[in-house]
């Protein structure tokens, strides 16, 4: 089974060195969206304008499969 990695950038870069074995990239997408939701809840008010949040999903060869990006900004 292929392995996927979920790297998060917010206040710092958190590299997923363990990864997760999943059947395919569609399962990796589902896992990424679930993890993103849980992680964003855990930020608990710390996402402020000018500080973005990003999750990059890579395969076992470090090819980027998906990127989830939350951009926090003030309207002008």
Task: Round to whole Å and give the CA distance between 57 and 24.
Answer: 12
Averaged pLDDT, groups of 10, the chain, 76 residues long? 95 94 97 92 78 94 96 83
- In the chain, the number of structural domains is 1
Please indicate, yes or no, if residue 56 is contained in any of the structural domains.
yes
Spatial contact of 32 and 6, defined as CB atoms under 8 Å apart: yes
Expressed as residue numbers, the domain containing 42 is 3-70
Q: Are 25 and 32 in contact (CB under 8 A)?
A: no
Cα 28 from Cα 14, distance rounded (Å): 18
Structural domain includes residue 18:
yes
Q: Using CA atoms, how far apart are residues 12 and 46, in angstroms rounded to an integer?
A: 13
Q: Which pLDDT does position 10 carry in this prediction?
A: 85
Pairing of strands 20-21, 13-14: unpaired
Whole-model pTM: value is 0.87
């Amino acid at each position: 089974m292929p392995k996927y990695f979920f790297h998060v950038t917010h206040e710092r870069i958190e590299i997923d060195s363990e990864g997760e074995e999943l059947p395919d990239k569609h399962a990796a997408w589902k896992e990424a969206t679930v993890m993103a939701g849980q992680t964003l809840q855990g930020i608990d008010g710390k996402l402020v304008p000018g500080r973005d949040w990003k999750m990059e999903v890579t395969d076992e060869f470090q090819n980027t499969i998906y990127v989830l990006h939350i951009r926090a900004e003030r309207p002008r």
